[in-house]
Structures are given as structure tokens and as C-alpha cells.
Amino acid sequence: MYSRRRFYSMNVTMSRTSIHKGLVLLIMITAFLLVVAGTVSAGKMAVSFTSPSIKNSISHLSSSFLVQVINHEIPLAGDIVQAPETEKPRSASAFFFHLLTDLNPADPSTFLGRELPGINRERFELLVAADGVDYSDFGYESPPPGDDVFVSRDPGETSSGKPNTGLNTKGNGSETDQVANEDQHFRSRQKVFIYHTHNRESWLTIPELKDVKDPGLATHPSKNITLVGQRLGEELKKLGVEVEVSTEDHMGKTPYSMSYASSRKTVQEAIVGNSDFQYFFDLHRDADEREDTTITIDGKSYAQIYFVIGKGNPNWEKNLAFAETLHERINKKYPGLSKGIIGKSAKEGHGEYNQSLSTQSVIVEIGGYQNTLEESYRTAEIFARVIAETYFDAERVNAPTESKRG
């Protein structure tokens, strides 16, 4: 009888101890979250749980941690589900810290990635680099803006507030150009298609964002990267290259995580409407600091440019060859203006970036959120000359033999 009572007493004591530990852990986690939330609110910081950040945090969860969670909810599951004995369990506090800050205590590269060149390699692969450029010269893709910056608008409206005709801008967007858009003969001669997946990416240097400090909020429904795409289109037309510029408002009509799915439809519609399109450029602006996105040439400042290749595309090496041609020609005219070419897989980003639709399709990053619109315009003008040169060289190579002789 005595031994049974003692055994029962021990079980009760152990149960109470477990409950106390669980409550203490829960209180600590709750307190931590409250402190973080208070700090964020006080500092007016913008924290958003994006798909990449959640995926990155969860990917580091050990099976031991997951088994602990399962055992907490289903006690008998511990007899069935077992984690590998060699694996070290990860604490709940470490997981929440990683999720909230994107810093992994077990991975020093997340703390030092921006300070030590080369330690940030896991975020992308540097495929081609200009002289003197290394991993530290490339930043991060723009963080997704908060939901509050999305302006609700009619799906039939573009970022400029004008009625959306799908693929809607030719050159300077004049009425003559819009009429020409309906002319199939005109359309059949177009060779370049320009679009903007993250069309609302803007700059803190524009008057409309003078009170904004957070790069994640450097967005605007009309004063944004589409202006650079339109300038690029205007310059190409001056050089004799027919071009179509889409200002479709992907960020205004779809969740940020679905931007590429939305822009893919735009590109597919363009291809169906015009089989003569050869070059596809998705224009963005980077989220890096000004010192890493700006270069001065002959007394003028320019927004530096670089290219992104999605290695999730099975033909990515052909897209890379196309980007290399552009990179080399830019730097031949203006050394250092193009920083190079980076590659990203699905682990580091979207991974495909609609580039499987054409071997001559690339993402073009022009400057960063601290550059000026004028600096971006200057770069777009140079880029237009390089595209035109590449296009006309290809035309001469592919011209019929009779035409070459003539």
C-alpha cells in the first residue's frame, strides 16, 4: 500500500512539474512576443511574415522539434513517432526568434551576411561579376510592402489610373501609339516586350515619399519603376526598335506572393498576340543602399544595373548567355555600370521568373530605393542603346543571304 501511494505521489509530482515547466515556457514565449511587438510598434518598424521568410524559418526546424510539438498535443504519439537520435532538438524560442527577425542563431551567415563578402552566397549565386565586384555588392530583393500600401482599385485600371487594355503602352503612350496598338501590322513588327512584376517599386527620393524612411514602404501606385520601363520603351523607339511596354498593376490586384504568376499571364498573352516578340525584360529596382547601387561616370551619377537569372528554368544557361551579352556591351561603353549577373533557384527566390517562356528573357534590376528617378532614366537610355545594338546585330546575322549580298 505504501509503495503504491508513493508511486502515485511521484507521478502527481512529476505531472505538476511538467505542467509548471510548460506554463513557464508559455509565459516566456508570450512575454518575448509582447516585447517584440511593443518594440516594433514603438519604432514604427514594418514586420511582415512573407512566404520566403516563413519557408526559410520552417526549413530549419529539426524533426526533433516537430516530434516535441506532436507529443505535446498527442502524448501517445511519442511511442510511435521518433526523431533521429543524432539530431539536436531546436527550441521553440529559437524558432520564433528566427521567424520574427530572419536571423538564425545556429547560422552565423544570417548575422554577418552583409558585413563579410562571400558569406551571403546561399542567397544567390554570382554567375558573372564586373571588375572589383563581389557578393557584398549585391543586396536583397525589395521586401514586400505592408498590406496598407496596396491601393484598392478596379481590376480594369492600371497603376497610372487609366483604363487597362492589357498590354497597353507604346513608346510615350500617345493617342497615335494607342491607335497603332490595334494595327496588327504594327504589332507584328514589335520585337521587345517590357513589363514589371513588382510594378509599384519606387524610390524614397521622390517628393511623394519624402516622409517615408522604411525601404519596404518605398512603393507608389503611379510614381514607380513603370516610369523607367516607359522611358526605356521611348528610347528604343527612337532607335528604330518596336517595343511594347506593359504597365499592368500586378501588385495592386494580387497578393505579393502571386506577382510572378500574374505577370506570367501578361507575358503569355503578349506572346499569343504577337509571335514576333524576341526580347522580354522584367524591370525592377533593388533594395540595397545607395552606395552599392550608384556609379559616377564623366561627372554624372547613374543607377547601376544587374541581371537575375532563374536557375529553376531548365534552359537557364541560354538566358544566362543572353544576359552576358548585355552585361558585356554595357560595360564596354560604360565600365562598371553593370554589376553583373546573379542566379537564384527556388530555394533563394522564385526560381523561374517567367524565363522559361523565352531564352531571351531576363530580370533587370536598375538601381535601388535610394536612387533618383533621373539616375534610373540615364541608365535606361544607355540600356536602350545596348538592346538596339544587340537586336540589329542579330538581324544582320539572321538576314537572308540575298539581303546580305545586296
State the cell numbers at 40: 516594433
What is the mean pLDDT of the segment spanning 16-32?
Answer: 70
Burial, 76: exposed, middle or buried (Cβ in 10 Å; 0-12, 13-18, 19+)? exposed
Mean pLDDT of the chain, nearest integer: 75
Cell of 309: 537569372
Identify whether the C-beta of residue 255 lies closer than 8 Å to the C-beta of residue 266. Answer: no
Averaged pLDDT for residues 342-369 = 91
pTM above 0.85, yes or no: no
For β-strands 125-129 and 338-344, DSSP reports them as antiparallel
Q: What's the average model confidence in pLDDT over 286-294?
A: 94
Scored b (16 or more CB within 10 A) or e, 200-222 reads bbbbbbbeebeebeebbbbbbbb
Distance of CA 262 to the CA centre of its chain: 14
Q: Is the pLDDT of residue 177 over 60?
A: no
The three three-digit cell numbers of residue 135, written as one number: 557578393
Q: For residue 356, what is its C-alpha cell?
A: 522559361
DSSP state of 364: E
Q: Residue 392's closest CA among 240, 205, 282, 202?
A: 240
- Find, among 398, 372, 387, the residue nearest to 238 by Cα: 387
User: Mean pLDDT, to the nearest integer, of 87-107?
Assistant: 54
First-to-last C-alpha distance (Å) of the chain: 113
Out of 67-81, 131-145, 223-237, give the one with best mean pLDDT: 223-237
> In the prediction, which pLDDT does 45 show?
43
Q: State mean pLDDT over 145-161.
A: 42
Q: Which residue reads 531546436 in cell numbers? A: 90
**Confidence at 96, pLDDT banded by 50, 70, 90:** low
User: Where in 315-406 does DSSP place strands (E)?
Assistant: 338-344, 361-368
Written as nine digits, the cell of 77 is: 504519439
Q: Rounded to an integer, what distance in angstroms lies between the CA atom of residue 124 and that of residue 146?
A: 25
217-255 pLDDT, tens digit each? 999 999 999 999 999 999 999 999 999 999 999 999 999
The C-alpha atoms of residue 128 and residue 113 are separated, in whole angstroms, by 20
Q: Please tell me the distance from the alpha carbon of residue 49 to that of residue 146, in angstroms, as a whole number.
A: 10
Residue 64: exposure state from Cβ atoms within 10 A (0-12, 13-18, ≥19): middle
Q: How far is CA 184 from the centre of its chain?
A: 34
Least-confidence region, from 130-139, 229-238, 258-267 = 130-139
Give the model's pLDDT for residue 405.
Answer: 43
- The stretch 333-354 carries a mean pLDDT of 89
pLDDT at 134 over 60: yes
Show contacts of 131-136: CB within 8 Å, 24+ apart: 131/335, 131/336, 132/336, 133/339, 133/340
- Work out the pLDDT band at 257, boundaries 50, 70, 90: confident
Contact 341, 306 (CB under 8 A): yes
* Beta-strand runs (E) in 161-278: 192-195, 243-245
